[in-house]
Amino acid sequence: MYKTKIAGIGKYLPENIVRNEDLMKYMDTSDEWIQERTGIQERRYAKKHKETTATMGARAAEVAIQRAGIDKEDVDFIIFATLSPDYYFPGSGVLMQRELGITHKEAGCLDIRNQCSGFVYGLSIADQFIRNGVYKNVLLVGAEMHSMGLDFTNRGRNVTVIFGDGAGAVILQPTTEPDQGVLTTHLHADGTHAEELSMISPGAHGGKHTGLEGFGFPDPSVPGDVFVTQKMVDDGLMFPNMNGQLVFKTAVVKFPEVIHEALTKAGLSSEDIDMFIPHQANLRISNFVQKKLNLPDEKVYNNIQRYGNTTAASIPIALCEAWEEGRVKRGDLVCLAAFGAGFTWGSALIRW
C-alpha cells in the first residue's frame, strides 16, 4: 500500500512589499491597530496586469518540480486551490498548466474552491489518488492574488488590511517507506454561516440568504436587468465581507478539534508534534491554538507578520519556509490545520 510523500516544495512571493503605513494613504488605519488585531506588519502585492494567480502558482510550481528532481512533463495531475482565480471560468489550473508549458501531456487539472482550507483539502484529494496508484506525480498548488479584489476605502479596511498575494506548491509522490508520508487527513464543513465570510456579488444567488433580493445574474424577461448594477458598485457588494468576531470564535474551537481528531486517529498526542503550521489567518488565532495544544514557540511556524493572510497559499508558503530554514527535517511529525470561509476546516498529519 502506497503512502504519499512531499517530494518537492516551492513558494513565490511578489517583490512589492506593502507595509501597514502604506495602507494609511487609502484608509483610516494605523500600524498599531493592524498589528494588535492581526499580528500583520506587511504583505506582498503582485504586479497589476503583469502577474496573476496562475502565473504566481507556476513560479512556485517550478521550484517544487526542480526540488523533486523531476521534469515538468512528469506531472500527471494538477490540483489548484484558490479563491481569487484569474477568470470566473475556466479555472486557474489549466492556465497554470499552459504557463508551465506542459499542455502536451494533457495531465488532468482540478480546481478547488475551499478558500483558506484549500491546500489541506487538496492534499487529502491527492493522497487518495496516490494511495490508490492512480497518479505518481501530483502537483498541488495554493495561490492567491487578493490585491486585485479588495476595497481600499474605509468601508473595506477591516478586511483589506489582512490579505496578501503569493503562492506555494508541492510535488506529491508515492512512497513505501514505513516512517514517511501523509498519516491522516480530516475535512469538515458547515454552511450555516456561509455569508459571514464571503463575496456574494455578482453571483447567481438572486438574494437568497443575503437580504439582497433582485441581485445576481440578469433576468432576460426583465428589460434593463444587468449582471452588475450601480448599487453593487456603490454599496461595495462586489468586495469581500467578514464577520470577524464570529470567524474568530468559531476558528478557535474548530482548529483544536480537528487537530485532536487527527492525533487520535494516528494514535499520537500534541507532544509528538515537531512542527505545527496553521493557516495564517490571524496571529491571535494561531497563538490561541498553540496554547491549547501546549506547544512551545520552536514547534510553531508563523509568517503572517510578513505576508498577511494568503488563504490557500498560506500553508504551503509557511511549510516551504520552515523546510528551507531547517525547521522541518526527515522524520519530523508535521501538523497542518486550516479554517476559513464556508465555513470549511481541516487538518493533516505528515511524517516528513
Whether the pLDDT of residue 215 is over 70: the answer is no
Within a domain: residue 116?
A: yes
Residue 170, C-alpha cell as written in the block: 508541492
206 compared with 261, residue with greater pLDDT: 261
Within a domain: residue 226?
A: yes
HSE-up of residue 142 (Cα within 13 Å, Cβ side): 28
Whether the pLDDT of residue 216 is over 80: the answer is no
Average pLDDT score over the chain: 92
pLDDT at residue 125 in the model? 98
Whether the pLDDT of residue 227 is over 80: the answer is no
Whether the pLDDT of residue 217 is over 70: the answer is no
- C-alpha 188/C-alpha 331 separation (Å) is 28
**136 plus 55 within the same structural domain:** yes
- C-alpha 329/C-alpha 290 separation (Å) is 20
Within a domain: residue 46?
A: yes
Pairing of strands 108-112, 77-81: parallel
User: How far is C-alpha 117 from the geometric centre of its chain's CA atoms?
Assistant: 6
Weakest-pLDDT range from 139-143, 159-163, 227-231: 227-231
Within a domain: residue 144?
A: yes
Q: What is the pLDDT of residues 291-350, one digit of tens each?
A: 999 999 999 999 999 999 999 999 999 999 999 999 999 999 999 999 999 999 999 999
Within a domain: residue 235?
A: no
| Residues noted as catalytic | 116, 279, 309
**165 plus 36 within the same structural domain:** yes
**129 plus 276 within the same structural domain:** no
Q: Which range in 121-130, 188-197, 205-214 is most confidently predicted, on average pLDDT?
A: 121-130
**50 plus 155 within the same structural domain:** yes
Whether the pLDDT of residue 82 is over 50: the answer is yes
**76 plus 17 within the same structural domain:** yes
How many Cβ atoms from other residues are within 10 Å of residue 20's Cβ? 20
Mean pLDDT for 281-300 is: 96
Within a domain: residue 107?
A: yes
Provide the CATH number for the domain around residue 295: 3.40.47.10
Supply the DSSP string of 125-162, one letter for each residue.
Answer: HHHHHHHTTS-S-EEEEEEE-GGGG---SGGGHHHHTT
CA angle 266–268–274, rounded 5-degree value? 110
Weakest-pLDDT range from 20-34, 210-224, 318-332: 210-224
How many Cβ atoms from other residues are within 10 Å of residue 331's Cβ? 9
Reported in sequence order, the residue ranges of 176-233 that DSSP labels E, i.e. its strands, are 181-189, 197-198
The total domain count for the chain is 3
**216 plus 74 within the same structural domain:** no
Within a domain: residue 61?
A: yes
**125 plus 211 within the same structural domain:** no
- Give the range of the structural domain holding residue 343, as residue numbers without chain letter: 181-193+242-351
